[in-house]
Structure formats: C-alpha cells, structure tokens
Structure 1
C-alpha cells in the first residue's frame, strides 16, 4: 500500500484557498529573520513568493491580515523596542490591512485574528511567513481546530537549522553533520505533517494562477 495522508484516506482533498474565499495571513515577516538573531537560509525566495501572494490578494480585493511577534522589552529576539521587530519592506501592510501583535506561536492566541476573520465572513485561511515549524505550524493546527479551511503555502514559508535533542543535551557526536536537522529537511517534514490532516499544501504558483 502506498503512503497516503489521512485526508486522502477520507477522500477529503480540499482545494487551496483563494482571494474570494480566504484571508491571506502573513505571519512574522519581520527583520529578525533576515538581519537579526534568527536569519533564515530560505528567506529570500520565501519572501519573494510571499510578496507575489500579497500582490495577487490585493489585486483581487482579498482580505489580508498581518501578524507580528513581540517578546518582552530587552529580550534577545523580537524586542518591541529593537530594530528587528519591523515588518519586512517587501510585504509592508497597507492602511486598510489589519495588523495583530502576538506573544505566542499561535496567531490566534491573545490576538483579534479570529474576530477579524468572523467580521469579514472568512472561513478559510492561507498562511505564509515564518517559521514553518513553529508559528506557521502552530497557527495552521489552531486554525484547523477552530474549523477553518487551512492552506499553507509551501514556498512562501521557511525555517532554520535546529539542533537534535541529543546535541542539545551535550552528547558527543562522531559526525558533526548528525547534530542538527537542516532547515530544508525540517521545512519539508513540517509541511508533510501538516498536509496529513491539518492543511492543504500548495505552491505560490498554484495560488496565483488558480490552477
């Protein structure tokens, strides 16, 4: 038996969200991930694709929501008073686009995101931004549990290398390359897990072309 997702087993393969029926949610597209303490190896291409998605949603009159992360003042990352909390200029919000500030990985947690979606009558969300394994994943799972149809844009998200648990614990490694999971592998693994049941995984080209 070939590998199948739970969605496929249930004969449920929802189509990706569109500007007509879904909100585009840009998660944590902030300088911290380009110029700060957490530079992502795949951010250039992911950001270009996020900008293309944003332009497409705007051209079609779709709902756009921006999520930004703030830690505590003086924290090492996402200091709200620091230089790297700013939204990246490629995807800077327009005046009519909502911005929600979060303090946890879940974009629904303690923000007005759900209220914004309900007010606009949107039952579907399309997620782009950073990082794939953390805030994008957590938001996708939360959205699924809240009853939203979720699309994650595979090439408009990115993540970073992560140390393996045994490396964190200080275990000796005979091969240094085995002490971490590379960003691209982690990215693909997380998308695979999300695509099992939580989300439709689609490329920027698929969403922009409508194919």
Structure 2
C-alpha cells in the first residue's frame, strides 16, 4: 500500500438532486456512471473521498437549505466515513476548511469529478493547483450545459465542456479519462503526479 501522502483524494463536486432538475441540454450522459465507478474504486482501496455540496444563499434556488435539490443523489451519497464540505460559491476551497483538512492528513493530490465543468469544477481545480496540490480532472466524469458565449453565440454543452478542459490542461491540471484510472494498476489510480503552483502560466 502506498503512503498516505501519495494517495489522491477523490473530490466529487455538487452531485446533488437539484442538478438533475435543471432540464438544460448537457453533455457526458454517462458522467454519473463514471463517477460511481471511480467512487467504488476509491472505497475499495480505502483512499480518501471528499464530497462537495453547494448550498445556495438564494431562497428560491433548488440548492437552498432544506430543499430536496440540495440533497445528494442517492447513488453517489457519502458514506458516514467520508468527508462532506458545503460551499456557497463556485470554488470548493473558498470559505471552507477543505485546504486545511487535506494538508493535515498529508493529502497533496486530488482527482476531481462532478459538475459543472466550466463552473465549480474549473474554479476548484484552478485553486487546487494554485494552492500546490497535484491535480487531475477526469473529463468524462464531469459535465456541463449548453450556453451562449460572451458574444451571444450559442455553444453546445460539448463545446463549453471542451473549452473548460482546455483551460485546465497543462496549466492547472492533468486532464485524464476514467479509463486512465480504472484500467491502471490499483495503486497508480490513487497516486498524484507531482505539480507545483505556478507551472507554465504567466498570469
């Protein structure tokens, strides 16, 4: 078994019931199944799992406290032994104790999955890298929705997702696919690649 410091925590972002109710065109319809496979892999190996839950400050949001939409999807709900952090903004590190919780346990690498690719996933991955964590984002275990770009041109969910992954790749994270982790040796799935803050970006 590898030492705890070489094990990546699986960070599952915003897989709540409310995200299923939006009804917007999305990509990666198999993302939930991929997340479930990775979750089972991590649980079987005994590696750390962290669940992030978005709790909105807007009372009419599907993610408002007490609303069914704020609950985890049953298939991806945390076990009692798994850590849960609640956030109010896109970045899972902002106004939470996630960073401290990871460092105290000697965890210096993350595997990030969840929703939405260009929103909470990208924001969290950028912060993770800037804070010094070796970061991997699993492209087919994340998804997002169609939206218009800044010029008002409609973009498909695939286009939005692909640009988010392009923004991260090589600058803030290693973007991988679930098969890269599930088909590798069990040890290597939970091992992060050494990355430091800064990398090659200029600003």
What is the TM-score with the length of structure 2 in the denominator?
A: 0.84
- CA distance 1:39–1:63, shift in 2 (3 Å): farther
Do the aligned residues in 1 keep the contact of 2:16 with 2:69 (CA within 8 Å)? yes
Match of 1:68, SS?
Answer: strand
Do the aligned residues in 2 keep the contact of 1:34 with 1:43 (CA within 8 Å)? no
Offset of residue 39 of structure 1: 4.6
- Select 1:26's aligned residue among 4, 12, 21: 12
Match status 1:69 vs 2:54: yes
Offset of residue 20 of structure 1: 5.3
Do the aligned residues in 1 keep the contact of 2:34 with 2:178 (CA within 8 Å)? yes
In the aligned structure 2, how far is the partner of 1:115 from the partner of 1:165?
36
Q: Which residue of 1 aligns with 2:42?
A: 57
Match status 1:202 vs 2:176: yes
Q: Deviations over 1:135-155 (max 9, x none)?
A: 000000000110000000010
Do the aligned residues in 2 keep the contact of 1:19 with 1:63 (CA within 8 Å)? no
| Structure 1 alignment gaps of length 5 or more | 1-17, 168-178
Match of 1:55, SS?
Answer: helix
Residues 78-117 of structure 1 mapped to structure 2, 5 A cutoff? 78-117=63-102
Do the aligned residues in 2 keep the contact of 1:19 with 1:60 (CA within 8 Å)? no
In the aligned structure 2, how far is the partner of 1:112 from the partner of 1:38?
32
| Structure 2 alignment gaps of length 5 or more | 186-203
Do the aligned residues in 1 keep the contact of 2:5 with 2:107 (CA within 8 Å)? no
Do the aligned residues in 2 keep the contact of 1:73 with 1:81 (CA within 8 Å)? no
In the aligned structure 2, how far is the partner of 1:31 from the partner of 1:40?
17
Do the aligned residues in 1 keep the contact of 2:6 with 2:107 (CA within 8 Å)? no
Match of 1:110, SS?
Answer: coil
What is the TM-score with the length of structure 1 in the denominator?
A: 0.81
Match status 1:135 vs 2:120: yes
- CA distance 1:130–1:40, shift in 2 (3 Å): farther
Offset of residue 196 of structure 1: 3.0
State the aligned residue count. 182
Q: Which residue of 2 aligns with 1:121?
A: 106
